[in-house]
Structures are given as structure tokens and as C-alpha cells.
Amino acid sequence: MTTAMPQFFDYKPPLDPFLSVIHADADLLVVDKPSGLLSVPGKAPEHADCVESRCRGVHANSRIVHRLDMDTSGVMVLAMNPAAHRHLGLQFERRKTRKTYIADVWGQLDTDTGEVDLPLICDWPNRPKQMVCHENGKAALTKWQVIDRSDRTTRVRLFPHTGRSHQLRVHMLALGHPILGDRFYAEGDALTASGRLALHAESLELHHPTGGERVTFHSPCPF
């Protein structure tokens, strides 16, 4: 029998640093989100602390443009005015941004590069989990490159060409190599091998809303 994920969970977001700003100007606020912090408020009052609320506490006009999973760390960009919000939103919608992630996965990938082209859909009885569905899923493409190998794990750089929910997590699972510490998709040693989800948004490249210059923001991998 399948059951829905609980709406309430033990939410203890990290407090130090409270907000790590990578870059700020009249249009952009770029932050380094820690693992364990929601991007936007949850439904329950105790889940109000999030990237959005912390940023607005310092920069009242900042607005969320995209999200990272609670367990994922790394680069997030917020807009500082309505025009920048529209500009950035269109870039994400039209896939004009370029994102790279670092992940530690369980096992040894057979080759040093590859891609996963598998459509995804919400696993509704087990939401927020996602699953591969060739009949009704939305197109999802991830390219990957091995960075390092150890006895039991592989470090990869991931290049998502689409932005589906849990895309990287499900695509790595589909290869037979779940991301370490993934409480939704990993089991056994793969789950216990890391105290956190070993997935980090390493860089984000986009067009600056003023002038259109291509800019890239980085966050060093914390694991």
C-alpha cells in the first residue's frame, strides 16, 4: 500500500549563517542556500522560515524566481524589482539559464559521461516523490560527467536541461545510482552514507536583467 508523505515534519533549518549573500545589486539578490532550509514557506506556521522570508527581512523588495529542494544546497537568485522578476522568470521558462550541480552517488557509473532522457510525473500517492512515466510524464533531460571516484561512490557534475521537480534525484536513481543521503529515493548504505542529501547547486549562469550581460554565480561544494 502507498501512502502520502506527511504534511508535517520535524523542521529544524540551520541558523548559522542566517543568510549567505553571494551577490546583490539593484536587480539581483544571489544567495547560497543551506541544506535543510525551505525555499518558500510551507503550509504549516512552523514552516514559515525559508529563503524567501530571510531575504525579505534584509531586502524587502526581493522576490523568489525559482526554487531548490529543501535538502539541496547552493546558488539561488531572487529578483529585486518587478521588471527583473519578469526578465528572470522568462529566462527560466525559456531555458536561457545554465545550472550545474555536484552530487555524490552510490556505486560506480560505467562511463565518465552520459545523459538521462526520461519523462517525469508526480508519484501522487507518495507525493512529493516523482517517478518516470513514459505515458504521461513531462520531458526531462539530465547530462552528467564524472569528477571523482571512490571505492563505493562516484562524484558527478550534473547539467539539467529541464527543471522538473526532483529531476536529478530521480534520474540518478533511474541509472541505479541514487544520490547519497536522499531520504526519498535512497535506501540502505546509500541513505546512511551521508548525513545530508549530497546534492549542491554549484553554479547558475544567466543574462543580467539590465543590459543582458551573461553572468555566472558560484557556490563551493560544502560536502
Give the active site residues.
69
Cα–Cα distance for residue pair 221/140, rounded to 1 Å = 24
If you write DSSP's letter for every residue of 40-104 in order, what string do you get?
A: S--SSGGG--BHHHHHHHHSTT-EE-----TT-EEEEEEESSHHHHHHHHHHHHTT--EEEEEEE
Nearest 5°: phi and psi at 148?
-155, 155
Which residues of 107-140 form beta strands (DSSP E)?
Answer: 113-117, 120-122, 130-132
Grid coordinates belonging to 5: 508523505
